[in-house]
Amino acid sequence: MGCMTRVRCIVFNAALGALDYRVPEGMDAPPGSVVVLPLGPRQILGVVWDDGDLPRDNYPEHKLRSVLEVLPVPPLPAPLRRLIAWVADYYLAPLSAVARMALSSSAALKGSGTVTEYRLTGEEPARMTPQRLQALDLLQGEQATMRELAEIAGVSEGVLRGMLSQGLLEPVLVDSDRPYPAPDPLFAAPALAEQQAEAAAEMVEAVAAHRFQPFLLDGVTGSGKTETYFEAVAAALEAGRQVLVLLPEIALTAAFLGRFEARFGVTPVTWHSSLKASERRRAWRQVAFGGAKVVVGARSALFLPFADLGLVVVDEAHEVAFKQDDGVRYNARDVAVMRGHFEGVPVVLASATPALESLQMAEAGRYKRLVLPSRFGGAQLPKIEIINLTELQPPRGRWLAPPLVEALQDRLAKGEQSLLFLNRRGYAPLTLCRHCGFRFKCPNCSAWLVEHRLSQRLACHHCGHEVPPPPVCPECGEPDCLVACGPGVERIADEVGELLPGARVAVVTSDTLASPAAAAEFVAQAEGGAIDVIVGTQLVTKGFHFPELTLVGVVDADMGLDGGDLRAAERTYQQIAQVAGRAGRGAKPGEVLIQTRHPKAEVIAALASGSRDAFYAAETEARREAGAPPFGRWAAIIVSSEDEAEAREAARAIGGTRPDEPGVLILGPAPAPLSLLRGRHRYRLLIAARRSAEVQKLIRSWLAPLRFPPGVRVAVDIDPYSFV
Ligand code: ADP
Ligand code: ZN
- Which ligand does the CA of 447 lie closest to? 2
What share of the chain in percent tops pLDDT 70? 98
User: Cα of 676 to ligand 2 centre, how many Å?
Assistant: 8
CA atoms within 13 A on the CB side of 704: 8
The residue whose CB lies within 8 Å of the most ligand 1 atoms, and thus the one to mutate among 187, 218, 226, 374, is 226
User: Cα of 478 to ligand 2 centre, how many Å?
Assistant: 25
Query: By CB neighbour count within 10 A (0-12 exposed, 13-18 middle, 19+ buried), where does 502 fall?
Result: exposed
User: What per-residue confidence (pLDDT) applies to 237?
Assistant: 98
Please calculate the CA angle 499-505-508 and round it to the nearest 5 degrees.
Answer: 130
- What is the spatial distance between Cα 120 and Cα 248, in angstroms, rounded to a whole number? 34
340: confidence class by pLDDT, cuts 50, 70, 90: very high
Could you check whether 379-426+487-622 and 632-718 share the same CATH topology?
Answer: no
Q: 567 to each of 320, 580, 629, how far by Cα in Å?
A: 10, 19, 10
* Res. 1: pLDDT tops 60: no
541: confidence class by pLDDT, cuts 50, 70, 90: confident
- Mind listing the pLDDT tens digit for each residue in 184-219? 999 999 999 999 999 999 999 999 999 999 999 999
DSSP string, 668-703: EEEEEEEEEETTEEEEEEEEEEETTS-HHHHHHHHH
* Domain 632-718 superfamily per CATH: Ribosomal protein S10 (3.30.70.600)
User: What per-residue confidence (pLDDT) applies to 564?
Assistant: 65
List, in sequence order, every residue forming a beta bridge with 35; answer none if it has no partner. 46, 70
- Mind listing the pLDDT tens digit for each residue in 30-39? 999 999 999 9
CATH number of 194-374: 3.40.50.300
User: What per-residue confidence (pLDDT) applies to 514?
Assistant: 81
* Res. 255: pLDDT tops 90: no
Helix axes 568-580, 602-609, angle to 10 degrees: 30
Per-chain mean pLDDT for the chain? 93
Average pLDDT over residues 680-690: 97
Sheet strands (E) in 511-654: 533-536, 549-554, 591-596, 632-641
3, containing H or E segment: none
B/e letters for 121-151, b = 16+ CB within 10 Å, e = fewer, are: eeeeeeeeeebbeebbeebeeeebbbebbbe
- Mind listing the pLDDT tens digit for each residue in 124-139? 877 788 898 899 999 9
Q: If DSSP states are collapsed to H, E and C, what string results for 55-79? A: CCCCCCHHHCCECCEECCCCCCCHH
Please calculate the CA angle 103-105-109 and round it to the nearest 5 degrees.
Answer: 75
- Mind listing the pLDDT tens digit for each residue in 578-587? 999 999 988 8
User: Cα of 222 to ligand 1 centre, how many Å?
Assistant: 6
* Domain 5-103 superfamily per CATH: PriA, 3(prime) DNA-binding domain (3.40.1440.60)
Cβ of residue 195 lying under 6 Å from some atom of ligand 1: no
2: confidence class by pLDDT, cuts 50, 70, 90: very low
- Mind listing the pLDDT tens digit for each residue in 13-30? 877 888 999 999 999 999
Q: Let me know: does 224 contact 259? Beta carbons within 8 Å.
A: no
Protein residues placing their CB within 5 Å of the ion ligand 2:
442, 444-445, 460, 462-463, 465
Which residues, including other chains, have CB under 8 Å from residue 48's CB and lie 6 or more apart?
A: 7, 8, 9, 29, 30, 31, 32, 33, 35, 67, 75
List, in sequence order, every residue forming a beta bridge with 296; answer none if it has no partner. 245, 270
* Res. 4: pLDDT tops 80: no
Name the residue ranges covered by the structural domains of the chain. 5-103, 125-175, 194-374, 379-426+487-622, 429-485, 632-718
Q: Let me know: does 647 contact 680? Beta carbons within 8 Å.
A: yes
User: Cα of 321 to ligand 1 centre, how many Å?
Assistant: 24
- Mind listing the pLDDT tens digit for each residue in 606-660? 999 988 999 999 999 999 998 999 999 999 999 999 999 999 999 999 999 999 9
- What is the spatial distance between Cα 588 and Cα 584, in angstroms, rounded to a whole number? 6
User: What per-residue confidence (pLDDT) applies to 3?
Assistant: 58
- Mind listing the pLDDT tens digit for each residue in 341-397? 999 999 999 999 999 999 999 999 999 999 999 999 888 889 999 999 999 999 999
Please report, as a single letter, which amino acid is at residue 32: G
Cβ of residue 227 lying under 6 Å from some atom of ligand 1: yes
- Mind listing the pLDDT tens digit for each residue in 47-66? 999 876 666 777 888 889 99
DSSP string, 579-602: HHTTTT-SSS--EEEEEES-TTSH
CATH number of 379-426+487-622: 3.40.50.300
405: confidence class by pLDDT, cuts 50, 70, 90: very high
What share of the chain in percent tops pLDDT 90? 78
User: Cα of 449 to ligand 2 centre, how many Å?
Assistant: 8
* Res. 170: pLDDT tops 80: yes
Average pLDDT over residues 282-292: 96
- What is the spatial distance between Cα 621 and Cα 629, in angstroms, rounded to a whole number? 11
